[in-house]
């Protein structure tokens, strides 16, 4: 069983992210803090489970989208095997399905990768104490997913290039000429969340700008 750090002892953490540059950057960044001790780094979920088993940290900073074993399933297994290890999700994804899946699996906090070092450290310490910290954009997404009363018609056909239902919805709004603030107001989401969605839409569709995204939407019957 992992013991919570006593006063004066650093918080022992593990970092798990499949991107080497991100993983190494987080290890270096958090390792500079005097009250945090990074005891391991993993490139996928299976590695994370093994490292946690071996090092028994107080918390883990976990990416959601990893190979071998994704972050949601890793969270679920960590919660079952090591319920005393606090799980803080740090990811580029803040769509409602990712947020809800991670929190339901046992994550205590959910931050996006533009969070500052102090915010990440605060979330790790808070999670060990039983507190939950949600990125403002994530909080907006979660509230919208649980409180938006408007019915959404299911889209029966498969979407191209791995687009999610939310991304297809936003792409259609872009095709109608709506700017990010208008989309945010229409969907009751933050501008930060919409910007993240738009960036993922551009990446998935190979669009360099909004004009290219509009052409893609019309070619695929999405706008």
Q: What is the mean pLDDT of residues 57-71?
A: 92
Per-residue pLDDT at 6: 57
The predicted pLDDT at position 155 comes to 43
Give the chain's domain count: 2
Which structural domain range is residue 21 located in? 11-134
Question: CB 34: neighbour CB atoms within 10 A?
Answer: 7
Tens-place pLDDT, residues 34-52: 899 999 999 999 999 999 9
Q: Are residues 96 and 178 in the same domain?
A: no
Q: Are 58 and 12 in contact (CB under 8 A)?
A: yes
111 and 190 fall within a common domain: no
Q: What is the DSSP letter of 42?
A: E
Q: Do 171 and 125 fall within a single domain?
A: no
Q: Is residue 197 part of a domain?
A: yes
Indicate if the pLDDT at residue 217 is higher than 50.
Answer: yes
pLDDT reported for residue 111: 86
Read off the pLDDT of residues 101-150 as tens digits, 9 standing for 90 and up. Answer: 888 889 988 888 778 888 899 999 999 988 887 766 565 555 555 555 44
175 part of a folded domain: yes
- Residues 15 and 23: their CA atoms lie apart, in Å, by 7
Regarding whether 45 and 94 lie in a shared domain, the answer is yes
- State the Cα torsion 155-160-215-166 to the nearest 10°: 50
- pLDDT reported for residue 185: 81
Instruction: List, for residues 173-207, the tens digit of each pLDDT value.
Output: 999 999 998 888 887 777 888 888 899 999 999 99
Is residue 51 one of the residues assigned to a domain?
yes
Whole-number pLDDT of residue 94: 57
| pLDDT at residue 192, rounded to an integer | 83
Look up the CATH number of the domain holding residue 180: 1.10.10.10
The owner of tokens 């603030």 is 181
Tell me the pLDDT of the chain averaged across its residues.
84
| Residue 155, domain member (yes or no) | no
Instruction: Mark whether 210 and 110 lie in a shared domain.
Output: no
Q: What is the CATH number of the domain that holds 47?
A: 3.40.50.2300
Q: pLDDT for 164-175, tens place per residue?
A: 888 899 999 999
Average pLDDT rounded to a whole number, residues 5-9: 65
Q: What was the pLDDT predicted at 139?
A: 59
């Amino acid at each position: 069983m992992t013991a919570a750090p006593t006063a004066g002892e650093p918080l022992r953490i593990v970092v798990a992210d499949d991107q080497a540059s991100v993983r190494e950057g987080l290890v270096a960044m958090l390792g500079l803090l005097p009250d945090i001790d990074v005891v391991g780094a993993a490139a996928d979920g299976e590695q994370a489970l093994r490292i946690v088993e071996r090092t028994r940290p107080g918390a883990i900073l976990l990416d959601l989208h990893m190979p071998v074993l994704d972050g949601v399933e890793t969270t679920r297994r960590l919660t079952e095997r090591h319920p005393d290890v606090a799980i803080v999700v740090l990811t580029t994804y803040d769509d409602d399905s990712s947020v809800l899946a991670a929190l339901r699996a046992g994550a205590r906090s959910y931050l996006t990768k533009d969070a500052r070092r102090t915010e990440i450290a605060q979330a790790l310490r808070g999670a060990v104490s039983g507190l939950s910290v949600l990125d403002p954009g994530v909080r907006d997404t979660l509230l919208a997913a649980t409180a938006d009363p408007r019915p959404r018609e299911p889209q029966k056909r498969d979407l191209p290039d791995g687009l999610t239902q939310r991304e297809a919805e936003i792409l259609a709004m872009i095709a109608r000429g709506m700017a990010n603030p208008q989309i945010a107001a229409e969907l009751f989401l933050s501008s930060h969340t919409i910007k993240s969605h738009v960036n993922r839409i551009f990446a998935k569709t190979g669009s360099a700008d909004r004009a290219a995204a509009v052409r893609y939407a019309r070619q695929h019957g999405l706008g």
